[in-house]
Amino acid sequence: MHFAGRVWRLLVGVKDALVLIFMLLFFAALFAILTARPSPAAVRDGALLVELDGVIVEERSEVDPIAALLASSAPMAEYQSRDLVRALDAAAKDDRITAVVLDLERFLGAGQVHLQEVGEALDRVRAAEKPVLAYATAYTDDAMLLAAHASEVWVDPLGGAVIAGPGGERPYYGALLEKLKVNARIYKVGEYKSAVEPYSRSDMSEPARENYGALYGALWEEYVANVKKARPAADIERITSDPVGWIQAARGDLATAAKQAGLVDKLGTKEEFDQRVVELVGEDDWSEQPGAFPSTPLNAWLEDNPAPTSGKPIGVITIAGEIVDGEAGPGTAGGDRIAELLDEALTQDLAGLVVRVDSPGGSVMASERIRTAILRQKARGIPVAVSMANLAASGGYWVSTPADRIFAEPETITGSIGIFAVIPTFERAAAEWGVSSDGVRTSPLSGQPDLIGGFTPEVDAMIQATVENGYEDFLERVGNSRKLSRDQVDRIGQGRVWDGGTARQIGLVDQYGGMDDALAWVAQQAKLGDGWHARYLGASRSSYDTLLRSWLIDDAETGGGTDPVAVIALRERAVLGQVESDVDRLLGVKGMQAYCLECPAARGAVRPSGETRGWLTALLTAIAR
């Protein structure tokens, strides 16, 4: 009995300890939820501090709590382009903000359209006679396009700035799959539908090379024109035509070379940069840190300047990321989720609809589900416009076909009208290891598909016919939308990808313009005058997402800026991400795809290094404080 009593006391002690721990966790979580939103008191007279420690996106993804628990580092920070534009426009008009500080130390990139949108907002700040100061240790293409709009561009003396231009190489697996004796069975329509080439070739085909040479050339021309317009002194020709001579002329000093080429204005440490900001906005009386200046962080400024909600609502549905079957997203365009949002909005008194597309496409079935949901909105008799951001290709164009009017920017990548499917089989590899298959069939389709024994000719023919039929459906939808014949669409289709300028010339796009232009057009068609606002469908965020984002991202110890060599090494990680995506596309369970695999996605999909830190670690850290 004495032993049993001790065991009982031990169990009671364990129970009490667990109750105490869970009570502490509960109250810590409750406190974090209540304090997760930025306080309006954080808004101060002085500078608006825009620290871009991640990527600019069309739609911010939701933090997965399970993935966050198991993660080896904090999720990458994401900043919605429309939020940045709203913040900067508010700063241009508000007397409390006397300058904008653009911290690009850990900026990882964005699509060209988003960069241009934010850059134009920075121009409006400068037009209001408020200085914009940018700082980074190393500027790459994306950061340089943003910084070009600043009135003063600073770089660390140990850093630099390099412009490389779009394009590059990608992995091809044809020879590897041949060595492994894996058959990548490819079914496609479109001479230029190069999404499947990495699985069948060891190099790029000539049609694909010609297509992407023209595309990248157009994007490069737009990039150079935008940088030169914002920063006329920039000698981009010198940098890109003879980069070695340019660096050697500065004796290998990248920072000095950047200044000589007009990319930056001043060389200085972060402390010297902060002191320059102090000269413009004054010292921070609340801080004892040297060089501190009064500033308002971006999140607090956004909280203090909410989006307008007066007047009639114009619905905005965002289709961002790969289009997939199911409920995925935000940040990924789950067909079921987006269709449900559109159908829920049928009960709302929307004056019109804008479909914002920033997607390389994906599942044909999910794209069709979204398209039909948009048509149900259109059947109400409201005007529908599509606003294309960086990408509206393949499935991204499929979902654009219901529009009354399509808006795009010159830098938008669109088209890629084509269908494909890829299915691996392993009969040769199995035979190499002595594995075979045998049995009895009652028809040519019995036991198919057979990954070990291979597909019968009848199965191959059926899949190819299905893909070809899907292509005809694609042509029909585009033809009906753009008032073009089947043959006219086929000539501009075949999987070919177009820049926004060319797409407008061939009739895939109606006019140049961004999100504001599309909204204004819908308001005009609905005869709303000035009494309207944009209502983003499904834009509200859950409490746990706000909480996890606050713990894992805002509180992450990401370290200081990296030098140009480290930036190049960081970019190499993108290759591993590309390989992982390619393997998933080959081995994953996917149906017919309307996807633009070669489209240059928004750069910056590279996770910064960080320590192992799941959300449970962050919670315990918060309690320990």
Compute CA 571 distance to the chain's CA centroid, rounded to the nearest angstrom: 16
Burial class (CB in 10 A: 0-12, 13-18, 19+), 165: middle
List, in sequence order, every residue forming a beta bridge with 213; answer none if it has no partner. none
Within 8 A by CB and 6+ apart from 302, the residues are 38, 83, 86, 87
Active site residue 81: no
* Identity at 75, one-letter amino acid code: P
Alpha-carbon span 594 to 195, nearest angstrom = 9
- Chain position carrying tokens 């070379």: 257
Alpha-carbon span 256 to 198, nearest angstrom = 41
List the catalytic residue out of 81, 394, 416, 550. Answer: 394
List the catalytic residue out of 193, 194, 359, 481. Answer: 193
Alpha-carbon span 254 to 563, nearest angstrom = 10
Cβ atoms within 10 A of the Cβ of 14, count? 10
Active site residue 193: yes
The secondary structure element, H or E, covering residue 48 is strand 46-51
3-class DSSP state for residue 563? coil
Largest pairwise CA distance in the chain: 92
Alpha-carbon span 291 to 101, nearest angstrom = 14
291: tokens are: 């060089």
Backbone angles phi, psi at 619, to 5 degrees: -65, -45
562 with 569: CB under 8 angstroms? Answer: no
Backbone angles phi, psi at 320, to 5 degrees: -120, 140
Catalytic residues: 193, 394
